[in-house]
Amino acid sequence: MMDIARQALGHWGFEGASLRLVAARENAVFELVSGGTHAALRLHRKGYRSNAQLISELAWMAMVAQAGISVPAPIPARDGKMLHHVNGVQVDVLTWLPGATMEDALEALPPEDQTRVFRTLGQDMARLHMACDAWVPLAGFDRVHWDLDGLLGDAPLWDRFWDNPALSGAEKTLFAEFRERAAQDLERRASGLDYGLIHADLVPANVLVDGARLRFIDFDDGGFGFRLFDVATALVKHRASRNFARFQSALIAGYHSVRPLDTGALTLFMALRAATYVGWNITRMNEPDGAARNARLIAAARECATQYLDAGG
């Protein structure tokens, strides 16, 4: 990876820049420092996104940054292109954003400041959605769709959660029932739900806390989807916290202070989001902690699906 990253530097005129690998899970991300430039160089995993999808992502992020929301903005190469290929690997460069991940920052904050973070998260999420609604992408804009098919169809975006090989017989029955009921519910509700461009991955690792300011990173899975899916994604990993009810209330209040959103189907979307991770982990079972992580994800999805079904979903 380092050899490809160093070869890529010439396209941007950053020959001799210092590089430090900071993430190597989905994409490989390097911190780049060259003179007065501080940036993130991304090597994209092969086969995950087409060139059109990545160029669309970069145009989208540039618009969001121009709208005043703190997200990484693309840095054009010497030839003006936003995306290059090095040894068959797609490469781009983004502005570097400071801050601690939300998961780290929350541990160091007193309860009242934790609540403030969630309120700000709701506000910034709403601003993101407003900016997206006001934008008209160029022809050819191509991003994934977190719609009924993308979540519950035969070939969902993050694999078939109901086919996870570690499911017990009872869990298979539960997830099959959840899938059927949720599909019916979502189809019935869809026309009345707020739908548009969403980040789709505002988990604690993708929200940076920098003083009173939040920054959103990693638009890799962003696309078209239900706005409640963004809300559920931001909340679902905090369900085990004793402060969860307070966090949820603060996030929703923050969102509503900027724009309206009907949250009546939030229990459905919490279960949908939890279920997607059970599908996502199917191809990652052999990673370190893959089996243990799988058990945790299944347990969380089981609880969310049961809560949804018990509520009459």
Residue 38 bridge partners (DSSP): 33
pTM of the model: 0.96
**Per-residue confidence at 200, pLDDT binned at 50, 70, 90?**
very high
pLDDT tens across 4-48, in order? 999 999 999 999 999 999 998 889 999 999 999 999 999 999 999
In the predicted model, what is the mean pLDDT of the chain? 96
What is d(CA 177, CA 162) in angstroms, rounded to the nearest whole number?
10
Which domains does the chain possess?
Answer: 2-95 (3.30.200.20), 100-310 (3.90.1200.10)
C-alpha distances (whole Å) from 9 to each of 54, 107, 144, 191 are 19, 37, 29, 47
Q: Which residue has the tokens 């347990």?
A: 299
- The answer, yes or no, to whether residue 215 has pLDDT greater than 90, is yes
**Sign of torsion, CA 272 278 283 289?**
positive
pLDDT tens across 283-298, in order? 999 998 999 999 999 9
**Per-residue confidence at 313, pLDDT binned at 50, 70, 90?**
confident
